[in-house]
Structures are given as C-alpha cells and as structure tokens.
Amino acid sequence: MGDNNDRSSATRRDYIKYTGAASAAAMTGLAGCSGGGDGEYPDGDITYIIPFSEGGGTDTYARQFISHMADELGTNIAIENVPGAASLRGTGQLYNADPDGYTIGGFNPPSTPVSAMVNPPEFDMTELEGIGTYARTPFVVVANPSYEIEGFEDMISRYASGELEIFSGKERGGVDHVLALLMKGNDSYDLQWDRYVGYDGTGPAVQATISDEVPVSIATDTGAAGAAEDGRIDVLACLSSQGSAVFPDVPSTTDLGYDNIDFLGQLVRGVFAPAGTSEDQIEVLTGALEAALQTDEVQSWSDETGNVVEYGGPESASNAVADAFEQIPEQVDLEAVQEAADE
C-alpha cells in the first residue's frame, strides 16, 4: 500500500500547469478587433459571471486570473457572483446576456450540466460559445475535525453504524448531490447517509462543516484548501482517480479500492460567452485567457498552492459541456436524482 501511495503522490505532483510556447497573442499583445463601437474591442468594461457564491473554487480561480486577463485586454473586468438554482441562475444570466463581448462567465462541466439535466432550465447551455478552459479540479470529501474521523473508510463505517446521518455539499440536484446519491446507491461505496443538506457553493458548504452545522461535505480541492491548511477541516479522500495536486498525500477513493467515478469526480473549469458572440471577439478573449494563465503571478500561485492551471482552447470548453450531456445520462439515473432533489 505504501509503494502505491508513493507512486500516486508522485504522479499527482507531475500535474504541471500550462507551460507550452506562448501564443502569438501572448508574445505580441492583443491586436483587438471591431467591438461594434467606435474603437477596437474591447472599448468598455466586461462583466465576468460566476454562478456560485464567493469563497468556492470557481471564485478562487477567477480572482487569480481575471485581473491579468483584464490587463491583457486593457480594460476592467468586474466579477459578479450569481449563485442559486445549483449554478443555473448565473449560467442563465450569462446565456441571456447580449452577445456583444462584454459579458462572459465561468462554470465547470460536469457540474452545471448535471444541474440542467436534473432540473431542465429554459435555455440550452450547449449553445454557449467556449472561450477556453483553465484547470481540472477534483472533488474531495472533508470533515469537521471534532469527529476525529480517521479516513474515508472510517467515515463510511460511521454512517453505516448510524453515528453520522447528515451528508452535504452544493445544492440538491447539483453535481455534489448526484455524487452523494451515487455513492449511496453504489455497492462499492455503500455510503449510508440519511439526509443531504445542500448549499449555494463549496465555500458555504465548507463553512457549514467548520461550524459543525454538518459533519461531512463534498468540496472542490481548491475550495477546501484554506480551511484544510489551518486545520479547520480534515480532508478524507479525493473522488478523482487522478488525485489532487492541492492535497497530493490524500488518497483517492480508487486508491482505497472503491469504484472509479471520474465521470463525476472532477471538474473541467471553463470560460464561456453568450451564443452569437463574434468569432473575432472570442479570439481576443481566448488570447487574453491564455496570456493571463502564463503570467508569473498566476504560475507562482499555482506552484505555491497546487491548484493546477492548464490552458485549453475554445473547443476544450465546448466539448466539456457536450461530453457531460452525452456521458452522464449513460451512468446516472437522472429521474431518481430528480425525485431525490424534490423530496
């Protein structure tokens, strides 16, 4: 077991951020394009919508790279947190925004697509224009230290005995809830929680765990990092077989012998624009994203925290959404999830 853990940790530490050759946009500056006004695009402030509360992983990443993206564009980018409806409220606001290049946003397949499959909204997020991807983020399971839970297997046994009853994560009907239901209904995990409590994002879920409102929660590794660093939560396991670069010494559930659930156990973090945003504007925004991820400040933050930064182009973002809608229905009983969400 020790050798396997050593190899696993080494592999996780090898997740290197995007360090390829700089693009033409990064090397020579962004040329700009017609923005529909009197000057080149952008000639005004941009809004970046985050469909989650402050303090979660999506918010944490955005506050690292968005300012550098703004510098590349020569404008201001205002971050607007719009939580609610398991991330569909903010994503819907992005979808319905004018496709003029001045409203963009970020969400994380398969998370938001799962929310849409469980509670179909009045919009089709596959129509959004991909700008790019910037990271892969695994989910972890965290606990309040006062329970002195000695790892994931101990947690499983405490739920089985009835000592623990409440399990938590982001909103009911969202990807965390689906993960919780999957682990409950999977013979390999047999996680026997009685009640699921959902929150507006990883940040609030982690805070609820810290305050002992709930004993255990699912969280993104990024969103759990600060509280784990100062001992306010314990990290029990990673739900991605690829492990976590933020917590390289924390075992994955597959390390522990449980079934692989990677199709839900990690996020692809993407940036998107409303359908109809011009190709020229997408190109400018993509160049700014790529250049921002290569700045010394973002690279240093990635090195210091273990939060992986990996650039992918527009197709990477669009494909992540499309793949979620194709793969999740094959793996998850969405009708059962919807019934559980409505309880």
Question: What is the arithmetic mean of pLDDT over 171-188?
Answer: 93
Residue 209: pLDDT band (50, 70, 90) is very high
- Beta pairing partners, 79: 48
Nearest to 311 by CA among 131, 159, 183: 131
Residue 19: pLDDT band (50, 70, 90) is very low
Q: What is the pLDDT of residue 343?
A: 76
Pairing label, strands 266-273, 129-143: antiparallel
Question: Dihedrals φ, ψ of 162, to 5°?
Answer: 90, 0
Cβ atoms of 52 and 60 within 8 Å: the answer is no
Q: What is the pLDDT of residue 32?
A: 55
Pairing label, strands 77-81, 195-199: unpaired
Per-residue pLDDT tens over the stretch 266-279: 999 999 999 999 99
- In three-state secondary structure terms, 66 is helix
Per-residue pLDDT tens over the stretch 288-309: 999 999 999 999 999 998 888 9
Name, in order, each residue with C-beta under 8 angstroms of 333's C-beta and a sequence gap of 6 or more: none
Q: Which residue do the tokens 């959404």 mark?
A: 321
Percentage of residues in the chain having pLDDT higher than 70 = 89
**Fold (CATH) for 138-264+337-342:** D-Maltodextrin-Binding Protein; domain 2 (3.40.190)
Domain ranges within the chain, ordered by starting residue: 23-133+271-321+329-334, 138-264+337-342
Q: What is the pLDDT of residue 227?
A: 97
Q: What is the pLDDT of residue 5?
A: 38
DSSP state of 273: E
Per CATH, the number for 23-133+271-321+329-334 is 3.40.190.150
Q: What is the pLDDT of residue 33?
A: 61
**Backbone angle region of 51, left / alpha / beta, with phi > 0 → left and psi within -120 to 50 → alpha:** alpha
**Is residue 192 pLDDT above 70, yes or no?**
yes
Residue 1: pLDDT band (50, 70, 90) is very low
**Least-confidence region, from 15-24, 255-264, 313-322:** 15-24
Residue type, 15: Y
SS3 content of the chain, % helix, strand, coil (to 5): 45, 20, 35
Cβ atoms of 331 and 110 within 8 Å: the answer is no
Per-residue pLDDT tens over the stretch 120-143: 999 999 999 999 999 989 999 999
Same fold, 23-133+271-321+329-334 and 138-264+337-342: yes
Query: What does the H/E/C string look like for 168-231?
Result: EEECCCCHHHHHHHHHHHCCCCCCCCCEEEEECCHHHHHHHHHCCCCCEEEEEHHHHHHHHHCC
Residue 201: pLDDT band (50, 70, 90) is confident
**Mean pLDDT over the full length of the chain:** 89
Nearest to 178 by CA among 305, 52, 101, 87: 87
Question: What is the arithmetic mean of pLDDT over 225-232?
Answer: 96
**Is residue 173 pLDDT above 90, yes or no?**
no
Q: What is the pLDDT of residue 7?
A: 33
Q: What is the pLDDT of residue 333?
A: 87
Q: What is the pLDDT of residue 39?
A: 66
Residue 38: pLDDT band (50, 70, 90) is low
Cβ atoms of 267 and 307 within 8 Å: the answer is no
Q: What is the pLDDT of residue 330?
A: 87
* Cβ count near 144 (within 10 Å): 20
Angle of CA points 145, 151, 156, to nearest 5°: 105
C-alpha to C-alpha distance for 330 and 320, rounded to whole angstroms: 16
